[in-house]
Amino acid sequence: MDIAGLMSTQKVEYVSNQYTQINTAAQSIGCTLHAPFMTLSFMALLVIPQLKLSDKGLFDGNSFSFTELY
């Protein structure tokens, strides 16, 4: 996605085709997740509760603060 990794200037058909191809590739090497790249995308959204991984470290969405792993 060429706009902040979240949106694209490409046509929806192109983006859909590319997304299908990467999911198929992931499944072909043994990934059992239904939508692995969508899962990764949501892991980085710090506003969704529970633990999230960001470029700054582990973030607790419930207390809205960074936290230690142990």
- pLDDT, one tens digit per residue, over 24-39 is 999 999 999 988 988 8
In 3D space, the residue among 25, 45, 46 whose CA is nearest the CA of residue 36 turns out to be 25
Please count the structural domains in the chain: 1
The answer to the question of residue 44 being in a domain is no
**Regarding predicted confidence, which is higher, 8 or 44?**
8
Tokens found for residue 12: 């929806």
The answer to the question of residue 48 being in a domain is no
The answer to the question of residue 28 being in a domain is yes
The answer to the question of residue 5 being in a domain is yes
The answer to the question of residue 66 being in a domain is no
pLDDT, position 13: 97
Residue 28's domain comprises 1-32
Residues of the chain above pLDDT 90, percent: 40
The answer to the question of residue 13 being in a domain is yes
Section 39-59 average pLDDT: 79
In the DSSP assignment, the letter for residue 53 is E
One-letter amino acid of 40 = L
**Regarding predicted confidence, which is higher, 9 or 6?**
9
Edge-first strand listing for the sheet containing 51-54: 51-54, 57-60, 65-66
